[in-house]
Homo-oligomer: A and B are copies of this chain.
Amino acid sequence: MKEQKIPKETIKRLPIYYRCLNRLVVLGKDTLSSTELSEYLGIKPTQIRKDLSYFGDFGTRGVGYDLRRLFKEIESILNLERTWNIAIAGISNIGCAIMDLLDFNHSGFNIVTAFDSNPNVVGNVVHGVTVHDLNDLKECTVEEPIDIGIIAVDPVDAREVANCLVDRGVGGIINFAPTLLNLPKEIEVVQMDLTSELGWLVFFIGNN
Contacts and interface: CB of A to CB of B under 8 A. Distances in A.
Q: Which of A97, A102, A109, A182 counts the most chain B CB atoms within 10 A?
A: A97
A98 B96 CA distance: 13
Contact-residue bracket for chain A: 35 or more
Given A78-B202, A202-B148, A93 B84 contact: no
A19 B195 contact: yes
Interface in A68-113: 77-80, 84, 92-94, 96-98, 100-102, 105, 107, 109
How many identical subunits does the complex contain?
2
A80 B201 CA distance: 11
Contact of A14 (B42, B79, B174, B200): B200
B93 A200 contact: no
B194 A98 contact: yes
B205 A79 contact: yes
Contacts of A41: 180
9 contacts: A14-B199, A79-B202, A79-B207, A102-B194, A107-B198, A148-B201, A171-B208, A186-B208, A190-B197
Interface of A: 11-12, 14-16, 18-20, 40-42, 77-80, 84, 92-94, 96-98, 100-102, 105, 107, 109, 147-148, 171-172, 174, 178, 180, 182, 186, 188, 190, 192, 194-208
